[in-house]
Chains A and B, each alone.
Chain A
């Protein structure tokens, strides 16, 4: 493993095999501490879930008005950032963009691990997780939840395949390192290499499979964001029942997905010292893509609200008042300013479009998009056509929602698990595709 300090490492002649095998070495102490901290937070989240299992969803702040809360927000958020892998890999592969090579795998990883957190979030939200099997035993295909189950499982298996296929030649490269790795790694790499020898026929088959997957995964990815939006869109609720909600979720997913890849890229660049691979060019290109997605999302957001604001239909008007100037205005305007306008300005101005600027913008986008999911889910629930209980009723349920400690803990656990999955993956498998870098045309 290279011992050069971070700052003195110069981009120059690179040896992908050696450089990337180096990333698989034992982590330094601060990294170990980080991993242990993440594991502790994830374990705490899991313990809180066990507590919730015992006492029911009463330990959350949800009630008969706010029948969905932070778990659904997390679900939508993680589904959103899962767009990353598809976008970067499939689209850039299809268009033959050469600069994609060092980032496809880390993007595909985000997809898989985001889905691995999004799925459980739904189960955590269920009142009766013990009856999960009912979805398969008694499933009604007319329910948008079934559409989401089908879409999610298809997308998850598709992304797993999409991540694995281009890893086969790398597994063979690592297998051929022999005793350099511990026995379990040797066994793992040998198994996953599937007897890859790098023959022309094998390359041809892999290329074909990759092209098919790159095309097939795009409609599946669009479907999952659309179907997730339809869970909201198929209800008679102001703010949800809108024709734009499907595409709105797709564009929002692109926006948060690209931002997630940029953050991941920055972290791996720093901790694995991959400056020679993840160059300013990658940040600039992804930053511009993020800018386009941000402007598009701003456009969709304006469309979402402008019609109903203008017309002033009474049920919509109550909701809009609570979002623009009422109980949810802080969240909404934070999202608009910090999540959309500030990042887009940073990305648009050449003198702020540096690596640091782009990474800050991406972090803001991810925070903003989580808040935006909150603004999508919670205010609509606060504005039913009719109150759930009569005014002034004894023990009337709360008409505001702020997540409980248990909900925050499980949320923190979910985020930690996501990062942890990703780190563990990057320690077992090279985070940048070695063979694709070796094959990259020299600039």
Chain B
């Protein structure tokens, strides 16, 4: 937990950045400096630290930020983090999906003939859990860059990825075969800050909900 009485907020750069700054404006946090500075990471006056979305649970769990905003996809993948999930913020809506090459049924074929399916993803935990929950044996291949490439080159039979509009998938001749979960932006809190800065956090949550 941060030492000052004020709340330090972890703000995700990337797809959720704009929506998050709009939300903070609505809550009366001055984001002008954050909007004007693309490279700066720490904004002490506004009580804002910016980072990639997947780092937000790390900073909040440790207490380097009291609260933070990140996608449900990140929280699903980092389920072991001890952070409290307080509010579904509604924006940044995406869907975690299983996708495979258009035409035919590469995933079904692999399961039928080889007894297991190879899946590329940036979300190994979510993907592994999804296939385990549905009783299918899967070999999960973790990739860091564009997941869409993996099935096109024959590395895997399908992918698990987050999609907003499906455009990138379609452009790479991939189609959605299963939807795993709808993901939106979430407000999370450090467990200690949630108790010791209860009033401030409750006031913020109250204003987000109204």
Q: Are A and B bound to each other?
A: no
Q: A residues engaging B (CB < 8 A)?
A: none
Q: B residues engaging A (CB < 8 A)?
A: none
